[in-house]
């Protein structure tokens, strides 16, 4: 039983340490890399708890997509981070005070927290026995929780429409591929055969017609 505990402290320790490094490292790219490390360790903690589906989703979604997106944003936007940090020392005292208040509140809450014994009995969708939790999720996601799933789908549809509305621009000067026009093109439309008189070359009028 010592091995899981050992791994717990390993993952938890690295997770907290890399979370601190996200904030304190000077180079924003390093921050994102530490963020990825924090996510991977959090995934490890999920595996220890037996939630392998959540662990994999965390790796796929957060490490695979979100963190890389952050990296793109940081590299593409010219944000001067030294300027952002300028007021750091100035605001440190007030930040410490607010942080201290939050910490005290959390300790007070955590200290008085007694898990209601009825809570563990009232879990609405307990994992059935002999079923991996990926399968257990699949069993309820499209049946019992179909309405949540569908509404989440509509939320994503709105996000897609929104992205198109806010970014797509139809400019007259942009040439787009039109496959119908391409397929309807005949040799007569695309080519012209001209007799070129020796020593005179192609006349301007012919050339203009040909270009069209």
Partner 1 sequence: MSFQSAGYPLLPVLPELVLAVGAMLLLMLGAYRGQGTTRLITTLAVVLLAVTGVLVLSLPAGKHVTFGGSFIVDDFARFLKVLALIGSAATLILSSEFLSDPSRRIFEFSILVLLSTLGMMVLISAGDLIMLYLGLELMSLALYVVAASNRDNAKSTEAGLKYFVLGALSSGMLLYGASLIYGFTGTVAFTGIAAAAKTGDVGVVFGIVFLLAGLCFKVSAVPFHMWTPDVYEGAPTPVTAFFASAPKVAALAVFTRVTLTAFPGIVPQWQQIVVFVSIASMALGSFAAIGQKNIKRLMAYSSIGHMGFALVGLASGTVEGAQGVLIYIAIYVAMTLGSFAIILAMKRNGQAVENISDFAGLSRTNPLLAFFFAMLLFSLAGIPPLAGFFAKWYVFVAAIKAGLFTLAVIGVLTSVVGAFYYLSIIKVMYFDEPLPKLDPMRVELRTVLAVAGLFNIFFFVYPGPLVSVATAAAKSLF
Report the SS3 class of residue 40: helix
Q: How far apart are CA 73 and CA 77, in angstroms?
A: 6
Size of the residue set binding partner 1 (CB under 8 A): 29
Dist CA 96 CA 89 (whole Å): 11
By rule CB under 8 A, what string of x and - marks binding of each residue 164-193 to partner 1? xxx---------------------------
Among the listed residues 1, 24, 109, 197, the single contact to partner 1 using CB under 8 A: 109
Tokens coding 151: 């509404």
Q: How far is the CB of 33 from partner 1 (least distance, A)?
A: 24
Q: x/- string (CB under 8 A) for partner 1, residues 127-156?
A: ----------------xx-xxx--xx-xx-
- Which CA distances in Å does 139 have to 50, 153, 210? 18, 18, 65
Query: x/- binding map, residues 111-130, to partner 1, per CB under 8 A?
Result: -xx--x-xxxxxxx------
Question: Shortest distance, CB of residue 141 to partner 1, whole angstroms?
Answer: 13
DSSP letters, 55-107, are HHHIIIIIIIIIHHHHHHHHHHS---HHHHTTTHHHHHHHHHHHHHHHHHHHH
Return residues touching partner 1 (CB under 8 A). Answer: 108-109, 112-113, 116, 118-124, 143-144, 146-148, 151-152, 154-155, 157-159, 161-162, 164-166
């Amino acid at each position: 039983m010592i091995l899981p505990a050992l791994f717990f402290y390993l993952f938890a320790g690295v997770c907290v340490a890399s979370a601190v490094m996200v904030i304190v490292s000077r180079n924003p790219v390093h921050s994102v890399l530490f963020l990825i490390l924090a996510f991977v360790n959090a995934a490890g903690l999920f595996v220890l708890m037996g939630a392998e589906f959540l662990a994999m989703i965390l790796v796929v979604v957060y490490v695979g997509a979100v963190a890389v997106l952050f990296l793109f944003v940081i590299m593409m936007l010219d944000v001067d981070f030294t300027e952002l940090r300028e007021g750091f020392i100035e605001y440190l005292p007030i930040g410490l005070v607010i942080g201290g208040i939050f910490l005290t509140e959390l300790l007070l809450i955590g200290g008085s927290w007694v898990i209601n014994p009825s809570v563990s009995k009232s879990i609405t969708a307990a994992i059935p026995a002999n079923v991996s939790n990926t399968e257990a999720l699949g069993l309820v996601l499209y049946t019992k929780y179909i309405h949540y799933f569908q509404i989440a789908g509509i939320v994503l549809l709105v996000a897609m429409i929104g992205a198109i509305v806010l970014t797509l621009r139809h400019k007259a000067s942009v040439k787009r591929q039109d496959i119908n026009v391409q397929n309807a093109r005949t040799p007569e439309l695309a080519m012209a055969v001209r007799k070129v008189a020796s020593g005179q070359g192609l006349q301007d009028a012919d050339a203009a017609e040909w270009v069209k």
